[in-house]
Amino acid sequence: MKTTFLIIAVIGCLALGILGVEQSKKLRAQSAQLDTTSKELAATQQQVTSLEAELREKEAAIENAKTVEAKLKTLQHTLSESTTVAAAQSQKTEKLQQSLDEAKTNNPMSTIAKMFKDPKMRDMIKSQQKAALGPVIEKQYTDLYKQLGLTAEQSAAFKDLVMKKMLAGADVGMSMMDDSLDASQRADLAKQVKSQTDEVDSEIKQFLGDSNYQSYQTYEKTVPDRMTMSQFNDQMADANTALTPEQQSQMVQALSDARNSFNWTSGLNKENPAANGDMAGLLTDENIAKYTAEREQFDSDILPKIRPILTPDQFAAYQKFQQQQRDLQIMGINMAKQMFKR
């Protein structure tokens, strides 16, 4: 029994050994397979990681491409708009150049000059001048009528002579507007104007007599200032702050004294500027700039002298009036420059 049991035990041991060996083989095979699978898994994980990195790069590239495409579209749009604007600007430039070219050939001053060549237009202008001057002479010379003790008939006759003097050379003066005239022709016309004016002056002297004629000459020097004060007072009358007769008289005297004593160097403030007919030589940029500076200085100098004559409101109004008159005069001088330019 013991032997049998021992044999059975040995056989069992052998069977167990064989089973153990087989199990060991299986375990080693499974372990090897596991190692292989782990390696494959690691390789696969590495591939996934690489693919993920590549995918991110491609996604970034796609986004970058989209950004570039958007920028490109924006650039194309901007370029298109810039081209449109440039084309429009080019058209504007061409039109501006065209306008400038037309301005050179269609100078408005030339158009005005041509108007003065028309005999009918000249007659109409002289008629209007005469109609406008009548009330002005009556208003500005009334004090002289009284000063000289003229009768109504004498005042009317004197008024006609003053009108004649103011209109003397008007026809010749309009002829000087002709932009085709040269310096010599303008000089001849200027001589004609002076000759006609001197002739009327002789008639006035003969009419008034030597003593009254001297009073007339003195009075004449104040006429520009009387006209200025008349314009200013008309404005003040509308504002219910009109000057009294005494204020007007004091203002005229102050303005006249200051103007006649001021050192005018440009020649544009003379009684008969460009008597030689050389208006272009008189109306140079340098001369106009000099006169402008002198006029501004004169206007500044006169203010302290007239301040005591006027009320504060009148004085403030006169300063504005003074500026307006200066601007209008400078504008007129510049227009004349264009008309008489060489």
Backbone angles phi, psi at 277, to 5 degrees: 90, -5
CA angle 193, 261, 264 (to 5 degrees): 60
| Statement: residue 193 has pLDDT above 70 | yes
CA angle 20, 24, 26 (to 5 degrees): 115
d(Cα 292, Cα 272) in Å, to the nearest integer?
A: 18
Give the pLDDT confidence score for residue 161 in this predicted structure.
93
Alpha carbon of 144 to those of 13, 155, 180, 292: distances in Å?
166, 9, 42, 32
Tokens of 29: 């095979």
**What rounded mean pLDDT belongs to the chain?**
74
Backbone angles phi, psi at 181, to 5 degrees: -75, 145
> Which range, 5-9, 176-180, 277-281, 291-295, is most confident?
291-295
User: Is 196 in contact with 168 (CB distance < 8 Å)?
Assistant: yes
Least confident of 88-97, 286-295, 328-337: 88-97
Least confident of 10-14, 74-78, 101-105, 253-257: 10-14
Alpha carbon of 146 to those of 132, 133, 218: distances in Å?
23, 20, 15
d(Cα 340, Cα 283) in Å, to the nearest integer?
A: 8
User: Is 294 in contact with 267 (CB distance < 8 Å)?
Assistant: no
d(Cα 96, Cα 208) in Å, to the nearest integer?
A: 60
CA angle 325, 329, 331 (to 5 degrees): 120
| Statement: residue 205 has pLDDT above 70 | yes
Element (DSSP H or E) covering residue 341: none
> Which range, 1-15, 118-132, 169-183, 246-260, is most confident?
246-260
d(Cα 248, Cα 280) in Å, to the nearest integer?
A: 37
Mean pLDDT for the stretch of residues 187-207: 87
Return the residue matching tokens 């009284």: 146
d(Cα 310, Cα 266) in Å, to the nearest integer?
A: 31
DSSP code per residue over 137-170: HHHHSHHHHHHHT--HHHHHHHHHHHHHHHHTTH
The tens digit of pLDDT for each residue in 206-248 reads: 999 999 999 999 999 899 999 999 999 998 887 788 999 999 9
In sequence order, the 6+-apart residues with CB closer than 8 A to the CB of 298 are 258, 259, 262
